[in-house]
Amino acid sequence: MWSPFYKNYTNQAYKSDINQNIIQLTKQGLGIRSTARILKISATTL
């Protein structure tokens, strides 16, 4: 079923470098919420 809401949907968590970014931010002491905010992904996805 076609929906206009899914037309521009992109899941940021599937980008190839996202895991490396998470590791680097964690090593620098950032928490889950701040890391999610910086990477523009959901904290539950993180």
**Residue 12 banded pLDDT, cuts 50, 70, 90:** confident
What pTM, to 2 d.p., does this model score? 0.68
Contact 24, 30 (CB under 8 A): no
Cβ atoms within 10 A of the Cβ of 5, count?
7
- What is the domain partition of the chain in residue ranges? 13-39
* pLDDT, position 8: 62
Contact 25, 35 (CB under 8 A): yes
CA dist list (Å): 39 to 9, 11, 16, 24? 16, 11, 13, 12
Q: Which positions ≥6 away from 8 have C-beta within 8 Å?
A: none
User: pLDDT digits over 13-37, tens only?
Assistant: 777 788 899 999 999 999 999 999 9
